[in-house]
A and B are shown apart, each in its own frame.
Chain A
């Protein structure tokens, strides 16, 4: 944490004069120019032996996450896919510090996670923007909580709104925006607190296909420009392959890491690239068993004891 604090201003500077080619050919975890060398040895986020169990309403114990091990390097874009109910969203909530695991350890820069922290910001599927604030105030919110001076807040709000092409909407309210615009505000709001890690929980799942394609491009561009570490949860394999440096496949309940696929396709990518489709096919084949198990459970119970992140609250 202490080392991060020094990095932040430089980060911002690096992002501001983002002369890094908008769509560079960078690939894989190690090509991060502006990170401290000290970070390279330690993974940005390290999950070791994470277990999480719930007690359901009927009183039985349910193992949601089973010995998850995962290491994410600084600047890496990791996508986690799995059938619904595999606990992938829950995993993000654990990293965000919104809930705590039953056992195991989550390390960020080698330090154990204790509660929430603005070094890890979550982007939710239903965006979680505050409807009582304007777009600008939403983006400013995290900085305000951190006690960032007003003038600096204004500058950064403007900068990040420009980054997501929404500068004109600074004074609009959330309900006046389309779904895609809301998700872009959520991205700007998350980036404005200058987190090291962006945790994205099916952020584009509720959007129409065209909007989603556009946001994929934007996210890839923003990621290249800002060099953040991104952990992206989705049930859409094509999306995962199109975006990620690596795709992590999780099993249906209890959630385990079933396999990891490094994606070494050149960027920028597109959802329609044949290579993306071919790679996605390979991942899908492995996912199919898990999806079937998920569906079976659903049919058998009539209603599945859904593991929603909110359930633990």
Chain B
């Protein structure tokens, strides 16, 4: 209860300050919108379905892109972790590539795939693939060897060994990497969408800029934050809690 109270106090103070600054009219409303204006923009955006469509399109893209990079990243990470040659060669490359913001792939993606969905997808995948790969590589190494041995001993081989033993055994070690991968995927998506007319949230945000409608810009920013927060809080927190209950431990994250 105390916690909730602190929340309420903090956020009403923040809103109050915002309203005050807006009411003082130091800056014109189209540069510094009031909370009320943002709320109206949000309401209008949902009312005429713009935001619903944008959310759906963006979610579809990020889920597809993130899904692909999780699958690819796990396969890659396992490969790197279990092969000495790959580990020595590709391991370093992967780490250095991670310092590259994924939007740097945008020009290449445009040339390779044209100005379309696939280019966006490519940027999303490049954004999250490396975190997932590195997490999986690390997870495979941290995972106690005994699980693999016990699995093989009980007759699990090849894909079955991966699916029923190695993957679940490494989950507590890769869940934070998966979470990071999601965050990167989401950011890469919005960035890419801002660069190309594409129906997604990123485009709606840019539209606000083009129309000099800062209320709309802030409304979309709030949406982007909210979606990221919900996925993090619901999906990944849920996954972590689930793992904690099963394993009886606190995952390192």
Measured CB to CB, the residues of A under 8 A from B are: 93, 96, 98, 116-118, 120-122, 124, 126, 128-133, 141-142, 144-146, 173-176, 189, 193, 310, 313
Per-residue A-contact encoding for B233-253, CB less than 8 Å = 1, 0 else: 000000000010111110000
Question: Bound state CA distance, A145 and B146, in angstroms?
Answer: 17
- Asked if A118 and B248 sit within 8 Å, CB to CB, the answer is no
- Choose one: A126, A130, A189; the contact of B168 (CB below 8 Å): A130
**Which of A145, A173, A175 sits near B154, CB closer than 8 Å?**
A145
Which of A93, A116, A193, A310 has the largest count of B CB atoms less than 10 A from its CB?
Answer: A116
Distance in angstroms from A211 CB to nearest chain B CB is 19
- How far apart sit A239 and B171, CA to CA, in the bound complex (Å)? 38
- B165 contacts which chain A residues (CB < 8 A)? 130
- With A132-B168, A146-B155, A175-B248 already in contact, the answer to whether A124 and B145 are too (CB < 8 A) is no
For the complex, is B150 an interface residue (Cβ under 8 Å from A)?
yes
In the complex, which residues 210-253 of chain B have their Cβ closer than 8 Å to any Cβ of chain A?
Answer: 243, 245-249
Q: When the two chains form their complex, are residues A145 and B160 in contact, meaning their CB atoms are under 8 A apart?
A: yes
**Which residues of chain B come closer than 8 Å to A122, judged between CB atoms?**
149-150, 153
List 5 additional A-B contacts (Cβ < 8 Å) besides A145-B160, A146-B155.
Answer: A98-B153, A130-B151, A132-B243, A144-B164, A175-B246
- Whether the Cβ atoms of A124 and B150 lie closer than 8 Å is yes
- Report Cα–Cα, A132/B167, bound state, in Å: 11
Size category, B interface = 20 to 34
Taking a contact as CB atoms under 8 Å apart, the answer to whether B246 and A126 are in contact is: no
Q: When A118-B155, A132-B168, A145-B155 are in contact, do A176 and B248 touch as well, CB less than 8 Å?
A: yes
Contacts of B146 in A (CB 8 A): 124, 126, 128
Question: Which A residues are in CB contact (< 8 Å) with B147?
Answer: 128, 130
Alpha-carbon distance between A131 and B143 when the two chains are bound, in angstroms:
12
Which chain B residue lies CB-closest to A131? B247
Inter-chain CB contacts under 8 Å: number: 71
Q: In residues 136-195 of chain B, which contact A (Cβ within 8 Å)?
A: 145-147, 149-157, 160, 164-165, 168-169, 171
Look across to chain A and name the residue whose beta carbon is closest to the beta carbon of B161.
Answer: A145
Q: Are B156 and A145 in contact (CB under 8 A)?
A: yes
Q: List 16 A-B contacts (CB under 8 A).
A: A93-B149, A98-B152, A118-B155, A120-B153, A121-B154, A124-B149, A126-B146, A128-B147, A128-B149, A128-B153, A131-B248, A132-B243, A142-B155, A145-B164, A173-B248, A310-B145
Shortest beta-carbon distance from A201 to chain B in Å = 10
Q: Least Cβ distance of A199 to chain B in Å?
A: 9
How near does chain B come to A135, taking the closest CB pair, in angstroms? Answer: 12
In the complex, A176→B246 CA distance in Å?
A: 9
Cβ contacts under 8 Å, B246 to chain A: 131-132, 173, 175
Determine if A128 and B249 form an interchain contact, defined as CB atoms under 8 angstroms apart.
no
